[in-house]
Amino acid sequence: MIVESDGYKIDFKDAINAIKFDETDKNKTNYHGVTALKAVDIIAEFEDKYVFVEIKKYDNPDEFDESFDIIESDTGTCHKFFSWLKNYLKYKFRDSFLYRYAENKVDRPIHYICLLNFDNALNVKLSNSLRRELPLNKPSNRWVNILSKSCNVINLKKWNELFTNWPATEI
Amino acid sequence: MLTKIKFESFTAFEKLEINFSSGINIFIGKNGTGKTHILKSLYSACDISKSKKGFAEKINDVFYPTNKQIGRLTKRSKTSNSGFVEVKRLSNGQEMSIRLSITNHTLTPDNVKVTGSTKQWLENPFESVFIPVKDMMANSPGFRSLYSTRNIHFEEVYADIIDRAFLPALKGPTDKDRIKLLEILQKSMDGKIVSKKEEFFLKNKQGELEFTLLAEGHRKLGLLWLLIQNGTLLSGSALFWDEPEANLNPSLMKSIVKILVELQRMGVQIFISTHDYVLLKEFDLAVNDKDEIIYHSLYRDEKTNNIVCSDSISFQDIFPNSIDDTFGSLIDRQVYKDMGGKDR
b/e code B327-337 from CB counts within 10 Å (16+ = b): bbebbeebbee
Q: Which burial class, exposed, middle or buried, applies to A22 when counting CB atoms under 10 A from its CB (0-12, 13-18, 19+)?
A: buried
Q: Which of A13, A68, A124, A134 to mutate to test the interface with B (most CBs of B within 10 A)?
A: A124
A152: nearest CB among B285, B335, B343 = B335
- Phi, psi of B66, rounded to the nearest 5 degrees: -55, 135
Q: For residue B40, what pLDDT is reported?
A: 98
Tens of pLDDT, residues A157-168:
999 999 999 999
Q: d(Cα A70, Cα B138) in Å, to the nearest integer?
A: 36
Better-scored residue on pLDDT, A61 or B7: B7
pLDDT band at B80 (very low <50, low <70, confident <90, very high): low
**Which residues of A fall within a CB distance of 8 Å from B343?**
165
Assigned CATH for A2-170: 3.40.91
Contact B331 A158 (CB under 8 A): yes
Which among B316, B328, B343 has CB closest to A158? B328
Q: What is the mean pLDDT of residues B21-38?
A: 97
Domain range list for chain A: 2-170
Judge whether residue B66 has pLDDT over 70: yes
Chain A residues near residue B344 by CB distance under 8 angstroms:
162-163, 165
Domains and CATH numbers, chain B: 2-127+236-339 (3.40.50.300), 137-233 (no CATH)
Q: Do A165 and B343 touch (CB under 8 A)?
A: yes
Complex ipTM tops 0.90: no
Residue A54, min C-alpha distance to chain B (Å): 16
**A:B CB pairs within 8 Å:** 58
Query: Which chain A residue has the Cα nearest residue B285?
Result: A62
Per-residue pLDDT reduced to its tens digit, B281-332? 999 999 999 999 999 999 999 999 999 999 999 998 899 999 999 999 999 9
* pLDDT score for A66: 46
Q: Residue B335 and residue A150: Cβ atoms within 8 Å?
A: yes
Q: In chain A, which residues have pLDDT < 70?
A: 58-80
The percent of residues above 70 in pLDDT, for chain B, comes to 99
Q: How confident is the model at residue B225 (pLDDT cuts 50, 70, 90)?
A: very high
Closest Cα in chain B, distance from residue A72 (Å): 12
What pLDDT is recorded for position A74? 44
pLDDT tens string B311-322? 999 998 899 999
Task: Say which of A65, A120, A163 has its CB closest to residue B327.
Answer: A120
| Alpha-carbon gap, residue B223 to B226, rounded angstroms | 5
**Contact between B275 and B243 (Cβ < 8 Å):** yes
At A76 the pLDDT is 44
- pTM, entire model: 0.86
Q: Do residue A165 and residue B344 have CB atoms under 8 angstroms apart?
A: yes
Interface contact flag, A120 B324, Cβ < 8 Å: yes
The predicted model gives B182-199 an average pLDDT of 88
Closest CA in chain A for residue B329:
A120
Instruction: Using pLDDT thresholds of 50, 70 and 90, give the confidence band for residue B203.
Output: very high
A124/B330 CB distance under 8 A: yes
Q: Mean pLDDT throughout B102-106?
A: 90
Distance from CA of A27 to the nearest CA of B (A): 33
Q: What's the whole-number mean pLDDT along residues B228-250?
A: 93
Contacts of A119 in chain B (CB under 8 A): 316, 321, 324, 327
